[in-house]
Amino acid sequence: MSRAVGFIGLGIMGKPMARNLLKAGYQLTVFDIVPAPVEELVAAGATAASSSRQVAEKSDVIITMLPNTPEVTEAVLGKDGVLDGARRGSLLIDMSSIAPLASRQIAAKAAERGVRMLDAPVSGGEPKAIEGTLAIMVGGAEADFAEAQSILKAMGSSVTHVGDIGSGNIAKLANQIIVALNIAAMSEAMVLAAKAGVSPEKVYQAIRGGLAGSTVLDAKMPLVLKRHFKPGFRIELHIKDLRNALDTAHDLGVPLPLSSGVMEILQALRVDGHARDDHGAIVQFYEKLAHVQVAAEKTP
């Protein structure tokens, strides 16, 4: 691959995404405030940078994958940030999940420096980041999307242009609402089954092929049965996404009563010490209320 790509943010999602770019043959420069993942990717063939600015100086396309709006803003607009080092004509792809308005504001600042921008948040969690099969939702100019497609397809199996800048993050908010409500519905149903003395494992097998079946059910139910709540996608990050969804919806005059209810469940779990658990741990909220546990049957 001829284009030099930079990657900023090598967390649970960013590190495997960057690794897939290396596997696809891209010349990759990486930066993170935590040294260990940088060292790991350098061992795999990447070049280390000491700042976001240095990543931008060495790259034609700069990707950010960071926790929230403040981190993206700092990495792009802050001292020694992307815009301090990016050449005119460079393409910035923010793959973080942030507020749509923030994407538009950052894009406007980038445009003043001659830097183009796409917002391209992802869905699929760590397993699909590792596999390179993420769903990627992209907002920005169609020409910029066309230019970025081959890079994005190295990390995702579904890459969709949604609309103008900020549209990718609107799609991600819709995604996160549906995922949260699906996990909550699954949790309610399986706690009911467990309390009734019926095997949640067998209920899952009975319903997964019908209308109640879903990608969320198949991704999360096996982990719940194993009591595996290592992220994945952390509860604290889903709280962040639902906060962005609620704020955006309220600004637009759109009530989100179901999302608000799940937000309070997530907040209760955070207070209870589960902020860094996978969002599949929503089941533990219902288990605590019903005094029952959803788990696989023990083999004799």
pTM: 0.90
Is pLDDT of 300 > 70? no
Say what the pLDDT of residue 1 is.
Answer: 46
Domain pair 4-165 / 170-290, same fold: no
Reported as type and span, the H/E element at residue 262 is helix 257-269
What distance in Å separates the CA atoms of residue 193 and residue 216, rounded to the nearest whole number? 18
Average pLDDT of 229-250? 94
The residue type at 261:
G
Is pLDDT of 237 > 80? yes
Annotated catalytic residue within 15, 128, 172, 220: 172
What distance in Å separates the CA atoms of residue 181 and residue 183, rounded to the nearest whole number? 6
Residues of 7-24 as b/e, b for ≥16 C-beta within 10 angstroms?
Answer: bbbbbbbbbbbbbbbbeb
What distance in Å separates the CA atoms of residue 99 and residue 96, rounded to the nearest whole number? 10
Average pLDDT of 198-204? 98
User: Of 236, 30, 219, which is closest to residue 125 (Cα–Cα)?
Assistant: 219
Is pLDDT of 247 > 90? yes
**Active-site residue flag, 172:** yes
CB count within 10 Å of CB 100 equals: 24
Write down the architecture of domain 4-165 according to CATH.
3-Layer(aba) Sandwich (3.40)
Burial of 268 per CB tally in 10 Å (0-12, 13-18, 19+): middle
269 pLDDT tier (thresholds 50, 70, 90): very high
Beta bridge partners of 278: 234
Secondary structure letter of residue 34 according to DSSP: S
234 φψ region: left (φ > 0), alpha (ψ -120 to 50), beta (else): beta
* Strand duo 91-94 + 47-48: pairing: unpaired
Average pLDDT of 98-118? 97
CATH class of 170-290: mainly alpha
- Contact between 23 and 79 under an 8 Å Cβ cutoff? The reply is no
2 pLDDT tier (thresholds 50, 70, 90): low
Average pLDDT of 252-280? 97
Burial of 181 per CB tally in 10 Å (0-12, 13-18, 19+): middle
Average pLDDT of 115-135? 95
**What's the whole-number average pLDDT of the chain?**
96
Domain segments of the chain as ranges: 4-165, 170-290
